[in-house]
Amino acid sequence: MRFLVKAINDSLDEDQLTYVLDWARQGLQMAQRNNVDTMKGIFNFFIGKAFTYKYGKPDSAIAYYKKVPPYFPDRNRKYNVFSIREIMERYSEMGNKDSSFAYLDTLKAFIDTMPESSPKRVSLSQNIASVYEYFGMFKTAISYYQLAINGNRKNGNFRGLGLALANMAELYDESGDDVKAIQYAKEGLQYLADVNMPYMQTASNIATYYTNLGQFDSAFIYHKIAVERAIKTNDTRQQVVLNSVLGDIYSGQKKYELAGSLLKKNIAALTENGDRWNLTKTYYSLANLDSSLHNYSGAKENLLKGLQIAKEDKQEVLITVGLQGLANIYEKLNDYKTAFYYQGRFIQQKDSMTNEKTKMEMADLEISYQTLQKEQQISLLKKDNDIKTLQLQNSRRSLFFYLAGFLMLLTIFGIIFYQRIQKNKIKSEKIKAELQTQVLRSQMNPHFIFNSLNSIENFIMQNDRRQASDYLNKFSKLIRSILESSRNDVVPLAKDMEVLKLYVELEQLRFNNKFSYHTHIDPQLLQGDYRVPSLLIQPYLENAIVHGVAHSNHEDLQLTVTAALEGEKIKYTIQDNGVGRKQSTEYNLQNKPKHKSVGLQITEDRIAHFNKTEQAAGAICFTDLTDENNEPAGTKVEINIKAM
């Protein structure tokens, strides 16, 4: 029986599940004949594992997992705890939230009794986080994933660390932050090279994150990594999922025929193997493809199919995506009544998830309070032991003296502690205010720096050393200039234009010089000592490049910046001949439905603050340009700031 246990554990570690069910049933028969209770529980656990990971039958798995705890009276035994963990996760897969959370609460009670560095506590924290994530409770999920990351890093459990980082990446993707998702997933991938399934899934996820950002070359690289591992391990289920990922990449590249063929083929394969989560996502991908081809009826049909599965399985995040997609599609079909209905359902679903998050925040506060109480109890017990020691060593008079001194010190300590708390609170509020100001001043840096480093990485991978060196030199010069400018509220206009030129040159390299850049600066501004807020118009240049010229397939694409002195104001004009705002908005709704940008809002606040007005509405003017056929021909933005 012990030999079978070792063999099954080795098979599970290597993802070789072919014989697990047969071996576990043989072991159970032997345990029953010899009446060995612990072995009965262990082999029932392994049978549940086989139904979970080999046959994909969560209901059958749960039935066997529930047989395990009675054989282990000690609730902290490994198989007792792990069977409860498996039941919790299987119920979440089936969308049974109430049952899943009942077992989740049991696990939380277990880990509260474990040391913080306990490997079992770290592992269970990660399992709990995944359930919170499945039901859309992102804030609480992040806190538990962070516990798992810190614990695995401290314990040197690099496989567990890789899994926790990969899960954190998925959570950030579902929250709409693909940049952070890539950062966490790439770090996690290096720790998962010897674990086939998580390695494939993480590489596949990175490909999806890059696709969401429109960086298709990088998406292909990581898709290829996942495919090679799937072929090597003969994992046909994962190959099906990877075909859907490839379909999304083709769709983003506007290779609609290739995308449609792959996605439709995968609908049948995913239906057959019972992977309902990826089946829902594939229906949504088909809907996006149909919408790109203006086949809104087809898009509606695919969204409804995906939404039905998401509702049946209580896939909260995918339900939200489906409702929003249907609201957009019915609007395009001019069925405004139905569009209004689905928009209301979408808002209600988001509010519901928000309420759940609020409840979990309260739960976090309660956990923190309970932890504080336990720490206080431990501290009081220690003090009580000290007092008892003094009672044994000293007379009643000495004891009274020491107790009086102890109480006096405790009172003084309490006063000092209270004053320190108040001082730290004031200091924290001050630091928070300073950090908020710094965040507003550096809003564009994280995404731009990430994209720049990714472009350098692509040049290096393509062995284009000259381009990589040129890009890196310009990038370092730009960062140095930004850091120098950030020390001052205003900089000379001529110097600001030089930094903006560096930024545009980097973007030209990134987009293979598909557009030209021209500037026209009023000589009076260059000759005079005029100063402006640093990089004030950079977000509008970025908007023109990323959402205007980048989406256009026309030749002779141009970006022009004009700065002129008009009375007591400086007038900037940014003009491009890209696709225009309407077509750019449609593209973003189809390809980045969760993406939210606050860069322009922050810039408007800066303009209002600089002009000393309550709002920047009168200082900024957008104009949609058209050609002689009244077709979109780009965008013009005019910005007025006071001259100084």
Q: Which helix (H) or strand (E) holds 519?
A: strand 515-521
State the pLDDT confidence band at 518, using cuts at 50, 70 and 90.
Answer: very high
Phi-psi map region of 255: left, alpha, beta (phi>0 left; psi -120 to 50 alpha): beta
SS3 state of residue 516: strand
Please, which pLDDT band fits residue 613 given cuts at 50, 70 and 90?
A: low
Could you give the CA distance from residue 409 to residue 401 in angstroms, rounded to a whole number? 12
> What is the distance between the alpha carbons of residues 318 and 278, in angstroms, rounded to a whole number?
10
**In the predicted model, is pLDDT for residue 584 greater than 70?**
yes
pLDDT at 439 over 50: no
DSSP state of 69: G
Please report, as a single letter, which amino acid is at residue 608.
A
pLDDT band, residue 72 (cuts 50/70/90): confident
Q: Hey, which residues does 492 pair with through a beta bridge? A: 531
Q: What is the CATH number of domain 236-384?
A: 1.25.40.10
Dihedral angle over CA of 430, 436, 442, 447, nearest 10: 130
pLDDT in tens, 147-195: 888 888 888 888 888 888 888 888 788 777 889 889 989 999 999 888 8
Q: Measured between alpha carbons, how far is 7 from 635 in angstroms, rounded to an integer? A: 66
Instruction: Please provide the average confidence, as pLDDT, over all residues in the chain.
Output: 81
Confidence of residue 365 (pLDDT cuts 50, 70, 90): very low
- Label residue 397 by pLDDT band (50, 70, 90): low
Tokens of 252: 């983003």
In this prediction, what percent of the chain has a pLDDT beyond 70? Answer: 85
293 has a pLDDT exceeding 70: yes
Quote the pTM value.
0.46
> pLDDT confidence of 377, banded at 50, 70, 90?
low
Mean pLDDT along residues 296-310: 89
* 532 DSSP β-pair partners: 491
Domain ranges of the chain: 236-384, 394-435, 445-642
Out of 3.20.20.70, 3.40.50.620, 3.40.250.10, 3.30.565.10, the CATH code matching 445-642 is: 3.30.565.10
pLDDT at residue 241, rounded to an integer: 84
What pLDDT was estimated at residue 516? 93
pLDDT exceeds cutoff 70 at 280: yes
CA distance 619 to 630: 27
Q: Is the Cβ–Cβ distance between 192 and 162 less than 8 Å?
A: yes
What are the residues facing 574 on neighbouring strands? Answer: 561, 637
Residue 413 above 80 pLDDT? no
**Higher pLDDT among residues 130 and 495, named by residue:** 495
Listed residue (486, 446, 443) closest to 599, CA to CA = 443
What pLDDT, on the 0 to 100 scale, is given for residue 435?
A: 38
What mean pLDDT is predicted for residues 494-507?
88
- Span of 397-401, 405-409, 639-643 with lowest mean pLDDT: 397-401
The confidence score (pLDDT) of residue 599 equals 64
Instruction: Report pLDDT for 438.
Output: 46
Distance CA 251, CA 259 (A): 5
Residue 562 has pLDDT above 90, yes or no: yes
Asked if residues 167 and 133 have their Cβ atoms less than 8 Å apart, the reply is: yes
The pLDDT score that the predictor gives to residue 431 is 46
- Beta-carbon contacts of 364 under 8 Å, excluding residues fewer than 6 positions away, are 139, 140, 143
Which strands, in side-by-side order, build the sheet including 620-626? 515-521, 557-566, 569-576, 632-642, 620-626
Q: What does the alpha-carbon distance between residue 278 and residue 531 come to, in Å, rounded to a whole number?
A: 54
Which of residues 300 and 591 earns the better pLDDT score? Answer: 300
Give the model's pLDDT for residue 432.
42
Over residues 441-492, the pLDDT tens digits come to: 544 456 667 777 777 777 787 777 787 788 888 888 888 877 776 667 788 8
Instruction: Specify the residue for token string 């047989």.
Output: 67
Highest-pLDDT range among 47-51, 173-177, 430-434: 47-51
DSSP code of 549?
G
| pLDDT at residue 617 in the model | 61
> Is 546 buried (19+), middle (13-18) or exposed (0-12) by CB count in 10 A?
buried
List, for residues 182-237, the tens digit of each pLDDT value. 998 999 999 988 888 889 999 999 998 999 899 999 999 999 999 999 898 888 88
**What is the model's pLDDT at position 371?**
47
Whole-number pLDDT of residue 364: 47
Is pLDDT larger for residue 361 or for residue 526?
A: 526
- Nearest to residue 571, comparing CAs of 505, 515, 624, 524? 524
- For residue range 112-132, list pLDDT tens digits in order: 888 877 888 888 888 888 888
Give Cα separations from 590 to 12, 585, 595 (angstroms).
40, 9, 11
Q: Is 630 helix (H, G, I), strand (E, B) or coil?
A: coil
Q: What is the pLDDT of residue 401?
A: 67
The structure tokens listed for 632 are 């979109």
Number of other residues whose CB lies within 10 A of the CB of residue 293: 15
Long-range pairs of 592-599 with CB within 8 A, sequence gap ≥ 24: 592/212, 593/321, 593/324, 593/325, 594/175, 594/176, 594/321, 595/176, 595/212, 596/176, 598/443, 599/443, 599/444, 599/539, 599/542
Residue 91 corresponds to which tokens in the numbers above? 């119920």
